[in-house]
């Protein structure tokens, strides 16, 4: 059972803004940076956001991340059909001495 | 071009062993932390283990401690995962991944491990 909780799903129409939340605790999000991963159907995951709000090269600026206390969120602005994917938050957990992923959120473009 | 190619997956009986390999190319392998991440069929991602650039530090998820061992051979640009006492719940696609929390993150395509009698 994951220590980072995400909503199972989120959806929006093309062009809308979608926000995915990630809830943790003081031992993970509260004391370490948050990362977000995108997994398109049938493919390997790829890093979308690192260090709470940084985008690797090649990631569109439609994707943004933020963190406050023991929670984090991923926002997708100007939703596009190619954004249909599973999204996972993740962070190091100081109590478990392990890297932990969130439960995952499936984004559907209506 | 960066490449991570996993191999060694397959069907194994409960209690059996398997050794996964990850062949790295296109970058200086010895300069990066490396990770194994798995995904059970239809389920989410689970981090399994990681290893420091020189192999001096290793961390594991609780569920595999004492059963799995991560190692690397920097001379051969290879990452390994020795999996012993395998259980049905270890059935998953296993991904080899470089630096999963930095801008230089890169993932392989995965290898499927099935534990079943």
List residues in chain A touching B: CB distance below 8 A: 2, 33, 35, 37, 39, 44-47, 50-51, 54, 56-57, 86, 88, 90, 92, 96-104
The CA-atom distances, in angstroms, between B78 and each of B23, B29, B30, B53, B98 are: 5, 8, 10, 12, 12
Q: Are the beta carbons of B59 and A2 separated by less than 8 Å? A: no
Contact B84, B67 (CB under 8 A): yes
Confidence of residue B93 (pLDDT cuts 50, 70, 90): very high
First to last CA, chain B: 40
Q: Any CB–CB contact under 8 A between B80 and chain A?
A: no
The verdict on B45 touching A (C-beta cutoff 8 Å) is: yes
Q: Residue A93 forms beta bridges with which residues?
A: A98
Give the whole-angstrom CA distance, residue B45 versus residue B110. Answer: 12
A–B CB contacts, 8 A cutoff, strictly below: 63
Which chain A residues have a beta carbon less than 8 Å from that of B60?
98
| The length of chain B, given as a count of residues | 117
List % helix, strand, coil for chain B (3-state, nearest 5). Answer: 10, 50, 40
Return the residue of A nearest to B60 by Cα.
Answer: A98
Beta strands per DSSP E along chain B: 3-7, 10-12, 18-25, 34-39, 45-51, 58-60, 68-73, 78-83, 92-98, 106-107, 111-115
What residues in B contact A52, CB-CB < 8 Å? none
Tokens of B84: 């012993």
Residue A1 has pLDDT above 70, yes or no: no
Q: How far apart are CA A46 and CA A66, in angstroms?
A: 18
Q: What is the distance in angstroms between the Cα of A14 and the nearest Cα belonging to chain B?
A: 26
Per-residue model confidence as pLDDT tens digits over A87-109? 999 999 999 999 999 999 999 99
CB contact under 8 A, B107 and A99: no
Q: What confidence tens digit (pLDDT) does each residue in B60-77 have?
A: 999 999 999 999 999 999
Q: What is the mean pLDDT of chain B?
A: 97
Mean per-residue pLDDT of chain A:
96
């Amino acid at each position: 059972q994951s220590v980072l909780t995400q909503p199972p799903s989120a959806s929006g129409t093309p062009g809308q803004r979608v926000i995915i939340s990630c809830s943790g605790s003081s031992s993970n999000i509260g004391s370490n940076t948050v990362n977000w991963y995108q997994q398109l159907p049938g493919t390997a995951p790829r890093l979308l956001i690192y260090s709470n709000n940084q985008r690797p090269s090649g990631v569109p600026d439609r994707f943004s991340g933020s963190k406050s206390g023991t929670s984090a969120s991923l926002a997708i602005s100007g939703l596009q059909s190619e954004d249909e994917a599973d999204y996972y938050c993740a962070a190091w957990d100081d109590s478990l001495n392990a890297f932990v992923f969130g439960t995952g959120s499936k984004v559907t473009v209506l | 071009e960066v490449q991570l190619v996993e191999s060694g997956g397959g069907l194994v009986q409960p209690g059996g062993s398997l050794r996964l390999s990850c062949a790295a190319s296109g970058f200086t392998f010895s300069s990066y932390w490396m990770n194994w991440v798995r995904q059970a069929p239809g389920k989410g991602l689970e981090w399994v283990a990681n290893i420091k650039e020189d192999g001096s530090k290793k961390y594991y998820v609780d569920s595999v401690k004492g059963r799995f061992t991560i190692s690397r051979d920097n001379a051969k640009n290879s990452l390994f995962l020795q999996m012993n006492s395998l259980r049905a719940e270890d059935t998953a696609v296993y991904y080899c991944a470089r630096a999963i929390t930095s801008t230089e993150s890169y993932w392989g395509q995965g290898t499927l491990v099935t534990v079943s009698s």
